Amino acid sequence: MTFDRLVCANCSGPVSEGRCPTCRASRRQMEEQQKLFGSISPAALIALITALVACVLIARHAFA
């Protein structure tokens, strides 16, 4: 979820505008979360999951 569509329960304004301290705190928190997870593209995430599944299948086949 992006913060540009959220509405603050405190001031009833868009969180992206940061009208009140609650909006600003929520916006700051969401920006930090997006920095952590936003740097991974969906294609890279799918490739990582596919590689992990392939490693598990190979290991399972090797030790079976």
pLDDT exceeds 70 at position 1: no
Supply the pLDDT for residue 32.
Answer: 78
Distance CA(28)–CA(35), nearest Å, equals 11
- 4 phi, psi to nearest 5 deg: -75, -15
Overall average pLDDT of the 2-11 stretch: 78
- pLDDT number for residue 50: 97
Note the pLDDT tens digit of each residue in 20-61. 998 888 888 887 777 666 677 788 889 999 999 999 999 999
For residues 20 and 6, the model is more confident at 20
Q: How far apart are CA 4 and CA 13, in angstroms?
A: 11
Q: In whole angstroms, what is the distance from residue 10 CA to residue 13 CA?
A: 8
> Any alpha helices (H) in the chain, and if so which ranges?
21-38, 42-62
